[in-house]
Amino acid sequence: MVDTSQRSQSQQQFERAQRCIPGGVNSPARAFGAVGGIPPFIARGDGPLITDVDGNVYIDFVGSWGPHILGHQHPTVVSAIQQAVATGTSFGAPTVAESDLAELVCELVPGVDRVRMVNSGTEATMSAIRVARGFTSRDRIIKFAGCYHGHVDSLLVQAGSGALTLGSPSSPGVPAGCTSDTLILPYNDEGAVAQAFSEYGESLAAVILEPVCGNMGCVIPGSRFLTTLRNLCTDHGALLIFDEVMTGFRVSIHCAQHRFSVTPDMTTLGKIIGGGMPVGAYGGRVDIMESVSPIGQVYQAGTLSGNPVAMASGYAALKILRDEDPYDRLEELGAQLESGLCEAAAAMDLAVTVNRVGSMLTLFFNEGPVTDLTSATRSDTERFSRWFHGMLNRGIYVPCSQFEAMFVSAAHTSEHIDRTLEAATLTMRELVT
């Protein structure tokens, strides 16, 4: 058993960081708030491994929360970044690299015929919502409980008192007016969607969702859910937006929209599209995207959008995914991990549910099934915290929340999965004793 519980350098760095950065982190998800303890400060990544400042090595199933489907420091991606940075970093002017990546995205994503690059998934979803509202001249939007689309004001919203009431802000600092046109529905609830359309249909600008949810843990769309949304949006003139920031190029080289055979009107992208560099994107039908400035009236802009270094990184990563097609192997590794976790838990009569699509999966401490936020939040989060620390101390780095997804990369091997399952068995045994 590897004991990586010694984290003195990380502790010092965490104390230092907290003196100048809120919570010591630049994104709350990293602060271990849900599990407690000191987050390891990471010094480097190599393939499927990360090493912290105390020299502890971990098998990484976070992958920077999704971008590293190829593993850390893929040589071709690193080389593309080095070559790009050798000619400058940013010009605030058009570059060839932007067209290279845009053409590849339009080639790979069925519902994208025009695409605008931005710098994060949040920027992508914020922009897509504005474009949908501008294109339809409507204000109301539907989102689903448990789906996260970044820290966009209109999407930081909690369900109103009644099932069909418009939302109220879920964060201080968001004015009620920003969320008063946002309706929150239960994920996978086709009846609630049909009722919402019958009540609000002609005033709806868009429906936005994660086609496979990763932000309440991995939750899979029911067999008719995406098709139902597609048909209702078409019938009522609302735009269907797939937030594929997490699923894009993760569950298929052609995204979830290809895997589930439902084409949205707009798609938002992030994470993998940047190959580890800050890139987001939104795109869709030509008629919709031609409403975007400078050719259209909907304004959206960004100093570093389409940054040539980030473009080169994303282009290299997507080309590898397209040309080397690791998806069958990602499926095999994901299946090996899923079945091993389920077998280990069953052997100890430990109540778990594993939801998986390809190389993204979540182990819920929950009898199951887990199909929406209500069922996901029935999970035993105290038991999850013990699981998390047991795995961390055995050199396995999983997401620090029950309500996130694990990611397997093309750099993982069957041996890495076997080592992970050995650690899982030891950790689960601790949970049941």
The catalytic residues are 148, 243, 271
**Residue (280 or 284) nearer to ligand KE4, CB:** 280
- Smallest distance, ligand KE4 to C-beta of residue 268, A: 7
d(CA 254, CA 277): 20
Site for ligand KE4 in 265-284 (CB under 6 A): 270, 280
**Residue (21 or 346) nearer to ligand KE4, CB:** 21
**Would you tell me how many other CB atoms lie within 10 Å of the CB of residue 44?**
12
210 near ligand KE4 (CB under 6 A): yes
- Smallest distance, ligand KE4 to C-beta of residue 403, A: 9
Distance (Å) of CA 290 to CA 101, 132, 242, 326, 372? 19, 12, 19, 34, 35
Residue 12, C-beta contacts closer than 8 angstroms, at least 6 positions apart:
none
d(CA 416, CA 59): 7
Tell me the sheet residues that pair with 58. 50
**Residue (245 or 352) nearer to ligand KE4, CB:** 245
Contact 208, 142 (CB under 8 A): yes
Look at residues 20, 403, 15, 427 and name the one whose alpha carbon lies nearest to residue 216. Answer: 403
Backbone torsion region of residue 210, taken as left when φ is above 0, otherwise alpha when ψ lies between -120 and 50, otherwise beta: beta
149 near ligand KE4 (CB under 6 A): yes
- Smallest distance, ligand KE4 to C-beta of residue 290, A: 24
- Smallest distance, ligand KE4 to C-beta of residue 143, A: 11
- Smallest distance, ligand KE4 to C-beta of residue 323, A: 26
The pair phi, psi for residue 57, each rounded to 5°, is -105, 135
Using the rule CB under 6 A, which residue among 10, 95, 215, 375 binds ligand KE4? 215
Look at residues 232, 240, 231, 229 and name the one whose alpha carbon lies nearest to residue 284. Answer: 240
Burial class of residue 429 (count of CB atoms within 10 Å of its CB; 0-12, 13-18, 19+)? middle
What does the per-residue mask of binding to ligand KE4 show for 3-42, with x meaning CB under 6 A?
A: ------------------------x-x-------------
Angle (CA) 68-70-72 rounded to 5° is 60
What does the per-residue mask of binding to ligand KE4 show for 89-128, with x meaning CB under 6 A?
A: -------------------------------xxx--x---
Using the rule CB under 6 A, which residue among 117, 245, 298, 333 binds ligand KE4? 245
Contact 99, 257 (CB under 8 A): no
- Smallest distance, ligand KE4 to C-beta of residue 264, A: 14
45 near ligand KE4 (CB under 6 A): no
Using the rule CB under 6 A, which residue among 45, 214, 283, 390 binds ligand KE4? 214
d(CA 62, CA 27): 14
Using the rule CB under 6 A, which residue among 14, 148, 225, 260 binds ligand KE4? 148
**Residue (135 or 148) nearer to ligand KE4, CB:** 148
161 near ligand KE4 (CB under 6 A): no
Contact 188, 220 (CB under 8 A): no
Interface with ligand KE4 by CB under 6 A: which range of 69-77, 210-218, 350-358, 368-376? 210-218
221 near ligand KE4 (CB under 6 A): no
What does the per-residue mask of binding to ligand KE4 show for 282-321, with x meaning CB under 6 A?
A: ----------------------------------------
d(CA 306, CA 62): 25
Contact 186, 192 (CB under 8 A): yes
Q: How far is CA 219 from the centre of its chain?
A: 12
68 near ligand KE4 (CB under 6 A): no
Q: Are strands 49-52 and 42-46 parallel, antiparallel or unpaired?
A: antiparallel
362 near ligand KE4 (CB under 6 A): no
Query: Per this entry, what is the length of the chain?
Result: 433
Residues that bind ligand KE4 (CB under 6 A): 27, 29, 65, 120-122, 125, 148-150, 210, 214-215, 243, 245-246, 270, 280, 404
